[in-house]
Amino acid sequence: MNIAREIAGCRPFPVDHDRQERCRTVLNSCGMTITELAMHLGISKPLVSNVISGRQPSPTTERRIATFLGVSEDALFPPRTAGQIAAMREAERLEKARAARLKAERMKARELASEGAA
């Protein structure tokens, strides 16, 4: 099956922390930042960041990044199945829910603290 068709229903794409870590490791070994990589490739930093994070898959940009860094595309940007993408999306949803719950708890604590001070 064509991977593009398989993942077409997976939008929006979740952050792929494994891809980010792989790129971060290679960039660190080269002594380079994402901003510097973007400048060398002549493309915007947001595009490079989105491609590295997996938010905006782009085979052309992935190929350019891998070639520039001297790493194979599959080593830097491993292919993902629809199931893997769905699992990452679920993990992202759970993390957002956890963050929202913590924020609500902090707000409640502040309200209680301000009521006690009054």
- Looking at per-residue pLDDT, the higher value among 74 and 1 belongs to 74
Question: Coil, helix or strand for 14?
Answer: coil
Helices (H) and strands (E) in the chain, counts: 7, 0
pLDDT digits (tens, 9 = 90+) for 31-88: 999 999 999 999 999 999 999 999 888 999 999 999 999 999 999 999 888 888 888 8
Does the predicted TM-score (pTM) go above 0.95? no
**Residue 1 pLDDT:** 44
Rounded to whole angstroms, the Cα distance separating 21 from 44 reads 20
Contact of 7 with 56, CB cutoff 8 Å: no
**Residue 103 pLDDT:** 95
**Residue 15 pLDDT:** 87
Rounded to whole angstroms, the Cα distance separating 44 from 9 reads 27
Q: What number of residues does the chain have?
A: 118
Rounded to whole angstroms, the Cα distance separating 51 from 23 reads 10
Residue 112 has pLDDT above 50, yes or no: yes
